[in-house]
Amino acid sequence: MCRKMGGIFHHHRGKSAQGKEAVGRVINTADAVFCPLNINSHYACNMVKNACRKSGKPVYFLRTSSISTFRNALAEWGKNSQSA
């Protein structure tokens, strides 16, 4: 789905011990960030939220890490980015 929209999927393995800088580098190269809540700690989600706020990137917190949840959020982001 990412390729159909002309994009590339990047991910971070969630090792918050690698520091805010590693998360920030991934976020800075993104057009949008999708963060599944069911597989990330509260600390990691806060780190993502703060890095997205700082960089001005849209963030979507997903209830689950399922493909269908990601696909729906990606489609929503696609609609929002086209209307902006």
In a domain, 9, yes or no: no
Burial class (CB in 10 A: 0-12, 13-18, 19+), 43: exposed
Query: How many structural domains are present in the chain?
Result: 1
| Residue 6 resides in a domain | no
**Does residue 43 sit within a domain?**
yes
* 63 is a domain residue: yes
| 1 in any annotated domain | no
- Considering the domain boundaries, does residue 74 fall inside one? yes
Write down the mean pLDDT value for the chain.
86
Quote the pTM value.
Answer: 0.84
- Range(s) of the domain holding residue 66: 16-83
Q: Where residue 23 falls among pLDDT bands split at 50, 70, 90? A: confident
Residue 76 pLDDT > 70: yes
At 18 the pLDDT is 63
33 class by beta-carbon count within 10 Å (0-12 exposed, 13-18 middle, 19+ buried): buried
